Structure 1
Amino acid sequence: MWLSSEFNRMAEQTLKVYEPEEAFFSTLIYGPAGVGKSTLLLKCYKRLKNKKPILYINAQDFVKNYAFAAQEGTLSRFRLRLRTPTLLILDHIEMLKGKTHSIEEFYHTYEALFQGNSRIICGFRGEPSQLEFLGDKLSSRLLGGLAVPIFQPTPEDRLNYLRLMAYRKFLIVEDLVLELMAEEVANFPEAQSLMNGFIEFANRSDSALDRDALSFYLQERRHKEKLRPSPQNIVQKAAELTGIAAEDIYGTTRTSEVRQARQLAIYVMRSLSRLSYPEIGTFLNKSHSSIMKSYQQFQEGIKKSPELKEKLESLLKYFNSREDVN
């Protein structure tokens, strides 16, 4: 479901009429999470894919495919696929952070597309000032093209989205209830999740979609959120369990106590959240290799230290996990 408003209209109009032959060499669509960047990029891809050679790929797949091609000796085939389309759409370039070799490969891909008179569109979760991880050359080139923002939706935007959801689902919900829901969320995916959860709760408890039911549902939702093995919750609980400040786990301190708490959080993120090493690295602002090393060191540590294993078991138990720690 899509809602056009002032916060996304500039990007929507840019991509709605986008034609490679008439466009800037590079276009950057940027903004916070959950505001529709990927949706717009996919719409643009689907509109143009039958007219011209176009490739859509997210940066995580770029990293994986590049690493596989380097390992298998098929880089020529990988580069031919990435560097010959009329238009390359590379989404989620924030996933390149910390991937030195992938960033270098992206830089050469960018240059090859430029030399071939092709075009590139990038999607980025963040602000232009946060592109420095790409290096001066690449970030300046991206910012030298067309940079189009998508802003955070306003409370009125979120309310209108919830109204549209209620209308399409044939729901009878007071506007005051929708206003309270709009205050609980920051973007449309969160609004959709809240609405669907509220409907499920009302059906389960045989309640109307009214203010009282919403109050009970939000209490239940907040309690469940604390028990959800999200990266943030895992770091917070690991900090409480080890007596280390959460800020130190996120930071660069390398004392044995902090390192052990950080390794505990990384191990549990990998075990419960099923995050990849690059995803954990992005969350903690660490390199893929350092995350993998921390995981392996902790895995060896729990074989030797009953105390360390006990902490792991306590953390897993808190998140109601059946993870085998033997």
Structure 2
Amino acid sequence: MSAPAHSPSSGDHGAAWQRTQRRLRAELGEDIYLSWFARIELESVDTSGAANLSVPTRFLKSWILSHYADRILRAFQEENSDVQRIELSLRTAGGRAPAAARAPAANAATAPRTGTAQPAPQINGADNAAGGGLVGSPLDRRMGFDSFLVGRSNALAHAAAQEVAKARAGEAIRYNPLYVHAAVGLGKTHLLHAIAGAAETGGRRVLYLTAERFMFGFVSALRAQTALAFKETLRGIDMLVIDDVQFLQGKTVSAEFGHTLNALIDAGRQVVVAADRPPTELESLDDRLRSRLAGGLAVEMASLDEDLRLSILKSRVTVAREANLGFDVPPSVLAYVARTVTANGRDLDGAVNRLLAHNTLTGAAVTLEMAEEALRDLIRNREPKRVKIEDIQRIVARHYNVSRADILSARRTATVVRPRQIAMYLSKVLTLRSLPEIGRRFGGRDHTTVLHAVRKIDGLLHSDNALAEDVDLLKRMLSE
């Protein structure tokens, strides 16, 4: 039991605490205040100067002690000089819990780690995000490791995924977060479903979310004032799998994703993330979060090589033949499709579907001539690709290990100026955009700046063999 409060009176302490709450709300903003501070209550200030505060959940207590204890103490002391430290306890239905956790007067306390099991999150069923729960996106059980075809372009990602999936709860985590990035249709979503399905089968509590569902759940919880329940659901799992993280938008949502990522990783829980670009190019996220995502294992799933495309085609034809017994694709046609349909796995699926439709609807045998006719528009990707300025900026930035934001910025360091000039040069020679338009796409620069860059790089290409090789490589990368 706390000692009796001393002068100033308890009423004065209560008024000082209300002023402290208003100060925190003004300093930290409405969203953060509602998430972390709105449910803190002042119980008493005892004769030793300890302000006894209480909160309703163990997670909230741990989080405040870890992140905001000093902030609360300073704000309270500015309103009431009698306060020397704060003590945080857990409220129960019948009042305060008997034991309080003490935050030191100078430094924020470290959050206690406990081995208490958390209730498994709701995975299936109606969406309950507004009520504080969170429903995972449905897993496709057909997308397992047994149906994932491996080639040179995805072997590393596949091996890392299997390593993550087979680990058991409580075991040391080798790759955290595991970050998989690839262009559209190269199999990253399949790999995420395989990880989540295998881990769930192994008894781990897994939550699979798309970025859109994460955003919807968090915004709904904020509106319903159930953000704490939302946070506790996310942090009560063994593995969080998030797909298409490039779609995360908004400062508040990104900040919450960052808090969730840090809390899970620090607690030894596995995080798996997929996107269509490397972490350094997620411009909607802040530098700290991009750094955290890159701090685990970031692996790229490259374009499908021809052998892998052929394996995928054979697999798809085998499945199609089970439902259509007369369907057959000669090896020469499979080789032709694998050689000419190069964009991604979804185009390969489309190719098989078209061959099947022509075969079953017209009765015509699948021949090379029929394939050429049926797949005419899919094969157009063999023609020169229309290059976008955004693609040039992204690929040049990746090649020179800078960010696209650096290229668009006003920075004048040599490590940024040369890639920027090369990107401007490629934009002029590979697109039909005018110099003023290119300048606008490079951070609102004048057309004379673009002209200078083009002339500079064009002149160096004749004397600098290393630069010429770099530019040739970049042109090939942009044409793939």
The TM-score, its normalising length taken from structure 2, stands at: 0.44
Alpha-carbon distance in 1 for matches of 2:379, 2:336: 15
1:181 to 337, 340, 357: 337
Alpha-carbon distance in 2 for matches of 1:221, 1:190: 7
Bigger radius of gyration: 2
Alpha-carbon distance in 1 for matches of 2:253, 2:441: 24
Other-structure match for 2:172: 22
Cα deviation for residue 172 of structure 1 reads: 2.6
- Runs of 4+ in structure 1 displaced over 6 angstroms? 220-223
Pairing 1:216-227 to 2, within 5 Å after superposition: 216-219=373-376
Other-structure match for 1:11: 157
1:202 touches 1:213 (CA, 8 Å); kept in 2? no
Alpha-carbon distance in 2 for matches of 1:68, 1:212: 54
Other-structure match for 2:107: none
Letter in 1 for 2:160: T
Letter in 2 for 1:186: A
Residue-by-residue CA offset, 1:216-241 (whole Å, 9 max, x unaligned): 22347789xxxxxxxx9xxxxxxxxx
The TM-score, its normalising length taken from structure 1, stands at: 0.63
Identity of aligned residues (%): 23
2:232 to 71, 80, 84: 80
Report the 3-state secondary structure (helix = DSSP H, G, I; strand = E; otherwise coil) of the residue aligned with 1:15: helix
1:2 to 119, 125, 148: 148
1:54 to 195, 200, 206: 206
Report the 3-state secondary structure (helix = DSSP H, G, I; strand = E; otherwise coil) of the residue aligned with 1:14: helix
Report the 3-state secondary structure (helix = DSSP H, G, I; strand = E; otherwise coil) of the residue aligned with 2:196: helix
Alpha-carbon distance in 2 for matches of 1:129, 1:108: 19
Query: Which structure is higher in helix share?
Result: 1
Within the alignment, does 1:33 sit opposite 2:184 as a pair?
yes
Within the alignment, does 1:198 sit opposite 2:355 as a pair?
yes
Alpha-carbon distance in 2 for matches of 1:222, 1:148: 29
Alpha-carbon distance in 1 for matches of 2:371, 2:159: 36
Alpha-carbon distance in 1 for matches of 2:379, 2:353: 15
Other-structure match for 1:109: 260
Cα deviation for residue 194 of structure 1 reads: 1.4
Cα deviation for residue 137 of structure 1 reads: 0.2
Within the alignment, does 1:152 sit opposite 2:303 as a pair?
yes
Alpha-carbon distance in 2 for matches of 1:220, 1:13: 35
1:71 to 223, 231, 238: 223
With over 3 angstroms needed to count, the CA separation of the structure-2 counterparts of 1:34 and 1:76, relative to structure 1, is same
Other-structure match for 1:118: 269
Cα deviation for residue 197 of structure 1 reads: 1.8
With over 3 angstroms needed to count, the CA separation of the structure-2 counterparts of 1:104 and 1:179, relative to structure 1, is same
Alpha-carbon distance in 2 for matches of 1:153, 1:93: 22
With over 3 angstroms needed to count, the CA separation of the structure-2 counterparts of 1:71 and 1:221, relative to structure 1, is same
Report the 3-state secondary structure (helix = DSSP H, G, I; strand = E; otherwise coil) of the residue aligned with 2:151: coil
With over 3 angstroms needed to count, the CA separation of the structure-2 counterparts of 1:92 and 1:167, relative to structure 1, is same
Cα deviation for residue 209 of structure 1 reads: 0.7
Unaligned runs of 5+ in 2: 1-146, 322-326, 381-387, 389-432, 443-480
CA RMSD of aligned residues (A): 2.9
2:179 touches 2:294 (CA, 8 Å); kept in 1? yes
Letter in 1 for 2:155: R
Letter in 1 for 2:333: V
Pairing 1:138-287 to 2, within 5 Å after superposition: 138-170=289-321, 171-182=327-338, 183-219=340-376
2:280 touches 2:290 (CA, 8 Å); kept in 1? no
